[in-house]
């Protein structure tokens, strides 16, 4: 039996906090209750889930979990750390020098660009990662929204009778089935295929890469833009082609802004950049609404130049029933559902804890 509890330093991500909820007995009851309430739509017995993960964690429970939100806080807490869990914070030579007991660095994701893997290897520190299920679900939701816009599912669902057609002010005129197929007997126009179209992803981070992988499976041409271009190997594996932002906007049928929200990305797609998009192109946003200038977005929708728009995380949460975006028939809004169900994130956290337990036991 260990004489002291393991010290885990964890970047304070809203989901990574669960590591403390599960492993650190000093976590406040207020936080435990809040997390249990958050999980309740998909996991009514959150306490039972926590107990199951603790039992599987072996000597990793109990642990002292220190949440940090900056590089300075990370460095200040490394002296006793046996493991670090990071999403965006850098772990390099400087951090390793401050962590004499460190055994593992776990990326809360799979892209290791903020971790000096070579330096960790020299030190004998294991580098771990996880392909997050919640990120995969976000990519799936992006494609659900794209398919709804492309196939006009939000307009056509349930519209299966002549009477319903008449209720929409449309006459039924059958095709001559002696000579033609009977598909689209309602004579609806405007549907499109994803296959053969071009998708432009702004930001190939964890979720952006998941979207790119699925786009290739749909037979789409994948363009991307971000501040730092990927390596040739990464571009080849993702079948993604780098384009300057202006070119990406001009050439894409589908624009996917997949950026974190900060001062540099606020209203990233502004009036000038939206004007660069080809007429009829669509925007699908499962990131943060504020990346797109709302007034500029409304203007381009009113003008009819934008082929469609879909948004998962709204400008206000909860949203408003009188939101002007709801008035457009080529707009789809969903109530922050992309990463759901909660079981995705719970499985991610369980995997991280299991990885750490094995790494620290070795």
* Segment (H or E) for 310: strand 308-311
In a domain, 219, yes or no: yes
> Is residue 254 domain-shared with residue 119, that is, in the same domain?
no
211-242 residues labelled b (16+ CB within 10 A) or e (exposed): bbbbbeebebbbbbbbeeebeeeebeebebee
> Is residue 275 domain-shared with residue 299, that is, in the same domain?
yes
In a domain, 167, yes or no: no
> Is residue 228 domain-shared with residue 264, that is, in the same domain?
yes
> Is residue 143 domain-shared with residue 99, that is, in the same domain?
no
> Is residue 119 domain-shared with residue 148, that is, in the same domain?
no
| Nearest-angstrom CA–CA distance, 129 and 111 | 8
pTM flag (> 0.85): yes
> Is residue 109 domain-shared with residue 140, that is, in the same domain?
no
| Nearest-angstrom CA–CA distance, 265 and 287 | 11
Q: Which of the four pLDDT bands, split at 50, 70 and 90, describes residue 2?
A: low
3-state secondary structure of 347: helix
263, 228 Cβ separation under 8 angstroms: no
In a domain, 185, yes or no: no
| Nearest-angstrom CA–CA distance, 18 and 14 | 8
pLDDT score at 3? 63
Identify the domain containing residue 327 by its residue range.
Answer: 135-152+190-333
The residues carrying an active-site annotation are 288, 317, 336
In a domain, 266, yes or no: yes
pLDDT score at 4? 84
| Nearest-angstrom CA–CA distance, 320 and 329 | 17
pLDDT in tens, 268-306: 999 999 999 999 999 999 999 999 999 999 999 999 999
Whole-number Cα distances in Å, 154 to 9, 137, 146, 157, 191 = 45, 20, 11, 6, 12
pLDDT score at 246? 98
How many Å separate Cα 310 from the centre of its chain?
A: 15
pLDDT in tens, 98-145: 999 999 999 999 999 999 999 999 999 999 999 999 999 999 999 999
> Is residue 147 domain-shared with residue 108, that is, in the same domain?
no
> Is residue 147 domain-shared with residue 236, that is, in the same domain?
yes
Number of structural domains, the chain? Answer: 2
> Is residue 144 domain-shared with residue 110, that is, in the same domain?
no
CATH classification at residue 66: 3.40.50
Ramachandran class of 158: left when φ > 0, alpha when ψ lies in -120 to 50, beta otherwise: left
In a domain, 357, yes or no: no
In a domain, 277, yes or no: yes
> Is residue 228 domain-shared with residue 281, that is, in the same domain?
yes
311, 148 Cβ separation under 8 angstroms: no
């Amino acid at each position: 039996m260990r004489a002291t509890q393991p010290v885990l330093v964890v970047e304070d991500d809203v989901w990574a906090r669960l590591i403390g909820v599960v492993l650190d007995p000093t976590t406040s009851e207020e936080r435990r209750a809040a997390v249990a309430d958050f999980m309740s739509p998909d996991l009514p017995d959150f306490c039972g889930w926590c107990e199951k993960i603790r039992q599987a964690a072996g000597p990793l429970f109990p642990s002292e979990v220190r949440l940090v939100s900056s590089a300075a806080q990370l460095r200040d807490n490394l002296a006793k750390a046996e493991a670090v869990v990071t999403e965006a914070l850098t772990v390099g030579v400087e951090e390793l020098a401050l962590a004499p007991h460190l055994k593992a660095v776990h990326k809360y994701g799979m892209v290791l660009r903020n971790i000096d893997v070579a330096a960790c290897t020299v030190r004998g520190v294991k580098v771990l990662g996880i392909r997050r299920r919640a990120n995969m679900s976000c990519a799936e939701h992006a494609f659900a929204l794209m398919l709804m816009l492309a196939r006009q599912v939000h307009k056509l669902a349930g519209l299966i009778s002549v009477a319903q057609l008449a209720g929409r002010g449309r006459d039924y005129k059958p095709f001559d089935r002696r000579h033609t197929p009977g598909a689209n007997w309602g004579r609806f126009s405007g549907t499109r295929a994803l296959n053969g179209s071009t998708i432009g992803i702004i930001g190939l981070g964890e979720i952006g890469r998941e979207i790119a992988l699925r786009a290739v499976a749909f037979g789409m041409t994948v363009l991307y833009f971000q501040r730092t271009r990927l390596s040739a190997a990464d571009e080849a594996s993702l079948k993604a082609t780098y384009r300057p932002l202006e070119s990406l906007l001009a050439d894409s049928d589908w624009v996917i802004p997949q950026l974190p929200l900060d001062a540099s990305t606020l209203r990233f797609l502004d009036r000038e950049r939206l004007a660069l998009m080809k007429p009829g192109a669509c925007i699908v946003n499962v990131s943060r609404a504020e990346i797109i200038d709302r007034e500029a977005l409304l203007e381009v929708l009113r003008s009819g130049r934008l082929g469609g728009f879909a948004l998962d995380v709204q400008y206000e949460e909860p949203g408003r029933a009188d939101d002007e975006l709801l008035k457009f028939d080529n707009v789809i809004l969903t109530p922050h559902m992309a990463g759901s169900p909660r079981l995705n994130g719970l499985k991610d956290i369980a995997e991280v804890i299991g990885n750490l337990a094995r790494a620290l036991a070795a």
